[in-house]
Chains A and B, each alone.
Chain A
Amino acid sequence: MFLTIDANDKRPLYQQIVDGVKALIASGELREGMTLPSVRQVANDLSVNLNTIAVAYRQLQEEGFLRVRHGAGAVVSSRLARGVEEEALRKPLRTALTQLILGGRNDREIIAAVRQELELIRQKGDSR
């Protein structure tokens, strides 16, 4: 299982790690109880500052996805985000839908696209 980091991506490095881990959890590739490598190992593999990875892990911990054990890596603690309100969940969806509408897609096409993306996420998890 791999995380892909792209230097040309506009998101900061830590955010790419957060989003990548979340995507793996959502697809079911990362399940509850599975261990992620330590902050030191990931920082060493990427040769980036320890703090960059620590910030990403801390955010995932705060959102309830990870339980960090000092010096022993991190464990996936939940598949569900903790304490995130409905409004906060819907906000990025609304932004994406707005983009699709502005892109000229009609309701049927938008629903088909959403279904297709959901299917892709599930297939990714099943293929493992």
Chain B
Amino acid sequence: MSAHTSGEWLLLFCTIAIVIFLAVTFKRRFWDEPLKHGPGFFLGVKVSPGFYEGEGIQWLRRYHTVVLATDSILALAVLAIFASGRWYLFPVWAGGTAVLHTATLQGFTYYTRATLGANPPVHSSVAVPLETRRLSDYISWRVEALIAVITALSWALLLTNGDARIHWNVPVVFTYLILGLLPFKVVVARSSFPLPADRPEEHHRWMKAQRRYWLHVQDSSRWFFIVLLGGYALLHGWHVASANAWPRWLMIGITSAIWLYMAVTIVRGERRLTAMGRDLLPVGSWSTPFRPARLMAPGFAVAFGVWFGGLILLLVFFRH
């Protein structure tokens, strides 16, 4: 490996800091996820007393294997980036950690609900909040317009002034991530679940906090990719940026800061939701006579599947 520049040392430092942060904080959060609601539940599925002395051992082992496999893939990817010296891939890896963790955790949770929690307890009473929900309560259309303008300007710069070194798959993937997450926001903002008639206020407060948390995480990830797209357009479409090293490092610095902010948001948000929902019934752990138990809002799984599938197709088949 050639001698590192000061910028590369900075990136190395940031990466190590993030990996330590992931290992110490994230790992603990993911590892204990099945027990988040106490020993009476496994990943939000109600289990019988003594579960963790019998069948639960297998379930925990399966879950921990998936967590370890996910983190091993991420560790190998970051090692490959170091070994090959392709530092520009680091932001993609940082964003990929969030996507991969979410996809594997949600996938395993779905599997658990479909097998272990296939027949959830049915409650005859259900509470309905008489509170009006509007999309504009959760989505700022001005910010969405700003995002659209930055995206359009980035593309305009690349198309009119782009140099010969542009890999078109990069702005296409970033644009897909930025715009593709908007339908998710709509699904999340509209999501709702029946509330148990027992302590409906607390369940409702928890549901609203969860909705805000998910939107916050999505917004952070979108801004992460917006900075990457804008930075890419500047580096390949503005000669001052391409001729100097500092714009590249500025972009990496900003994206790393956003990523760190996103990580802190996730950890703090999860901690807060766990504290709020410790004694409450997890979503999807019970059913009503009117509707089956649902882990996610209708449309969320479909939207996520389409979006994630599209992303994989783009990454695999669209090389230049």
Q: List A residues at the B interface (Cβ < 8 Å).
A: 1-8, 21, 24, 30, 35-38, 41-42, 44-48, 73
Contacts and interface: CB of A to CB of B under 8 A. Distances in A.
A45 B194 contact: yes
A44 B124 CA distance: 17
Interface residues of B, number: 23
Contacts of A7: 124-126, 288-290
Contacts of A24: 130
Name the prevailing secondary structure of the B interface residues: loop
Contact of B130 (A6, A37, A46): A37
Contacts of B204: 2
Contact of B132 (A3, A5, A30, A35): A35
B124 A6 contact: yes
Contacts of B130: 1-3, 21, 24, 30, 36-37
Contacts of A46: 126, 128, 194, 288, 290-291
B40 interface: no
A21 B133 CA distance: 18
Interface in B234-261: none
Contacts of A44: 190, 192
Contacts of B288: 7, 46-47
B132 A73 contact: yes
Contacts, number: 73
Name the prevailing secondary structure of the A interface residues: mixed
Contact of A41 (B126, B133, B193): B133
30 contacts: A1-B130, A2-B127, A2-B200, A2-B204, A3-B130, A5-B126, A5-B127, A5-B128, A5-B290, A6-B125, A6-B197, A7-B126, A7-B288, A7-B290, A8-B125, A35-B132, A36-B132, A37-B131, A37-B132, A37-B133, A41-B192, A42-B128, A45-B193, A45-B194, A46-B288, A46-B290, A47-B290, A48-B290, A48-B291, A73-B132
B195 A2 contact: yes
B132 A4 contact: no
Interface string B108-144: 0000000000000000111111111100000000000
Given A2-B200, A7-B125, 19 more contacts: A2-B129, A2-B195, A4-B125, A4-B126, A4-B128, A5-B126, A5-B127, A6-B124, A6-B126, A7-B290, A36-B130, A41-B192, A44-B192, A45-B129, A46-B128, A46-B290, A47-B194, A47-B290, A47-B291
Interface string B174-218: 000000000000000010111101001100100000000000000
A38 B128 contact: no
B283 to A, nearest CB: 13
Contact of A5 (B125, B129, B133, B193): B125
Nearest to A73: B132
A47 B197 CA distance: 16
Contacts of B197: 4, 6
A73 to B, nearest CB: 5
Contacts of B128: 2-5, 42, 45-46
Contacts of B132: 35-38, 41, 73
